[in-house]
Amino acid sequence: MKRRELVLALLVALLAAPCSRLLGDGAPGAEATKAYQSALAKLQAGDGVAAETGFLRAAELAPDWGAPNAQLGVLYQGQGKEAEAREQYALVQIASFAAGKYPEGDAATVLRKALIENEAYLIYLVNAARLQNGQRALVPDPTVGLVARAHSEEMRDKNYFDHESPTPGLTNCQDRFRAVFGYKPRMIGENVARRWGSMYCLRPEKILQSHTDLMNSPGHRRNVLYPTFEWLGLGLAANANGDYWITEVFVESGR
């Protein structure tokens, strides 16, 4: 039996640069964008019922967008509706996968389903920790999730575990963010974790254990609970043995 292992690492980078693009962009249609922006205004005004209606409308108009689902997930989690929140977070991660290029076939589909379910659960756990500690919930972003998942996959495929990538131009998390979004956010943080061994596989109880381990590490806990972060990107990768890699990217956009 292989020895069970857990490895964690963290990085926080403070950056001072203006933003030229907002997270949550990319709605496929003016009507969906209008419904989304209206729902945001209702949410900021404290009208959760009207906000929910607006986000549901935006999600109906743009089912592959993910941004309305992210807001719905946060809204439902704040109301104590775990199942509904996790369902919406899963839709965000489906949108994240849709934005990338991934293997096809039955086995790949099964793995992708497991990754999406566990990514959604980890988003829920991160936000549960923040709410329990008096911080606002983070809004999961499909594109930031794509950035996070790409790093997890590269660590798996190139057999390394680090914040620093060997790929030129993508050395650290701010490089990877900027390569996709085209700007440096005001602040960005990253947690990475790896778990392997014959007793580990990709299932919720192991994800919960990984989250607990991160929260028991002062630096990782600081990233999870940092008060000015706004957005979260979550990406998992796994191999045929059930070993898995986690990347969490935390963003304060500066907009």
Per 3-state DSSP, the chain is made up of helix, strand and coil in percentages (nearest 5) of 50, 15, 35
Q: Which residues pair with 248 in a beta bridge?
A: 191, 234
In the chain, how many H helices and how many E strands?
9, 5
Q: What is the mean pLDDT of residues 114-137?
A: 97
pLDDT at 45 > cutoff 80: yes
pLDDT at 10 > cutoff 80: no
Q: What would the pLDDT profile of 141-191 be if each residue is shown by its tens digit?
A: 999 999 999 999 999 999 888 887 889 888 899 999 999 998 899 999 999
* 105 to 77, 108, 153, 242: CA distances (angstroms): 34, 5, 18, 18
Burial of 125 (0-12, 13-18, 19+ CB in 10 A): buried
Beta 231-238 vs 187-196: how paired, if at all? unpaired
User: What pLDDT was estimated at residue 28?
Assistant: 74
- Both tokens assigned to 184: 């440096």
pTM: 0.88
The 3-state DSSP class for residue 224 equals helix
Q: What would the pLDDT profile of 186-229 be if each residue is shown by its tens digit?
A: 999 999 999 886 666 788 899 999 999 999 999 999 999 999 99
Residues 158 and 167: their CA atoms lie apart, in Å, by: 10
Residues 169 and 78: their CA atoms lie apart, in Å, by: 38
Q: What would the pLDDT profile of 66-108 be if each residue is shown by its tens digit?
A: 999 999 999 999 999 999 999 999 999 999 987 666 666 666 7
